[in-house]
Amino acid sequence: MNTPFNLFKSLHSQPEPLLIGNVWNVQSARVFEKLKFKAIATSSAAVAETLGYTDGEQMSFDEYLFIIKRIKASCSLPLSVDLEAGYGKSAEEIAGRLRHLYALGIVGVNIEDSVVENGNRSSVDAHAFAEKLSTLVKICKADRIELFINVRCDAFLLGLENARTAAIHRIKRYDQTGIDGLFLPCITDEEDITAIVSATPLPVNVMCMPQLAGFHQLKTLGVKRISMGNFMNSVLYAKMEALSRKVVSEQHFSALLNS
């Protein structure tokens, strides 16, 4: 059956990796729609910055939900949501968030295995997290909530010692929970990527980073999904700052009008 979920899931098994356009408002979503991207996803960090917060579930779920609703209502592309640590302590609480998103027509979520406390990010216990994921998947199946659950493993993002070994240890637990995909931000080394892809039957998602290989090479390595993270947002606002500085220094709008 060609449900939105099944169509989105199929994008993770096509020959070419799925390039996700990461968005933070309606305008950014419409750019990717115009360019005929196959899917978009929110960047929680970019949305948080837009609302004046730092990343790490500092914005309320209701504030986030307002942005998500506007993007979904204004753009026809399949939309996945970066749900950070799930906006809930228990699987039941997280499932409540997923019900809201599924009712809006959202096709997927990212849930990460780290939390931010007092401004510091750290990994959660892998065994307990895997149990939470298993319960969450069971609740979703019982309630017929069809969402592509993409689990973010932060071993490389946190720079853990022996990050490859730590990541494989974690994802082997996550593999058994019924989730749909794995996301490893900040992985760039090709041997690490090959090892991770070989360690799991699930589609592997990587993110824009300075040393990351090109898309053709990532395809060769077996990567199935590529994200932009908050980099597009950061670069655009850095350019806005540079242009504004020129307008002020030159006392003229030529830099803006001719850019």
Which 3-state string (H, E, C) describes the chain? CCCHHHHHHHCCCCCCCEECEEECCHHHHHHHHHCCCCCEEECHHHHHHHCCCCCCCCCCHHHHHHHHHHHHHHCCCCEEEECCCCCCCCHHHHHHHHHHHHHHCCCEEEEECEEEECCEEEECCHHHHHHHHHHHHHHHHHCCCCCEEEEECCCCCCCCCCHHHHHHHHHHHHHHHCCCEEECCCCCCHHHHHHHHHHCCCCEEEECCCCCCCHHHHHHHCCCEEECCCHHHHHHHHHHHHHHHHHHHHCCCHHHHCC
193 and 65, same structural domain? yes
254 and 217, same structural domain? no
The predicted pLDDT at position 2 comes to 87
The predicted pLDDT at position 167 comes to 98
164 and 245, same structural domain? no
245 and 136, same structural domain? no
239 and 205, same structural domain? no
Instruction: Report the share of the chain in percent with pLDDT over 90.
Output: 98
* Ranges of residues in the chain whose predicted pLDDT is under 70: none
127 and 248, same structural domain? no
220 and 246, same structural domain? no
Q: How many domains does the chain have?
A: 2
137 and 259, same structural domain? no
213 and 178, same structural domain? yes
The predicted pLDDT at position 100 comes to 97
How far is residue 87's CA from residue 142's CA, in Å, rounded to a whole number?
A: 21
252 and 204, same structural domain? no
The predicted pLDDT at position 182 comes to 98
Range of the domain at 102: 4-228
194 and 146, same structural domain? yes
Instruction: Report the share of the chain in percent with pLDDT over 70.
Output: 100
123 and 251, same structural domain? no
CATH number at residue 214: 3.20.20.60
Q: What is the pLDDT of residues 148-196, one digit of tens each?
A: 999 999 999 999 999 999 999 999 999 999 999 999 999 999 999 999 9
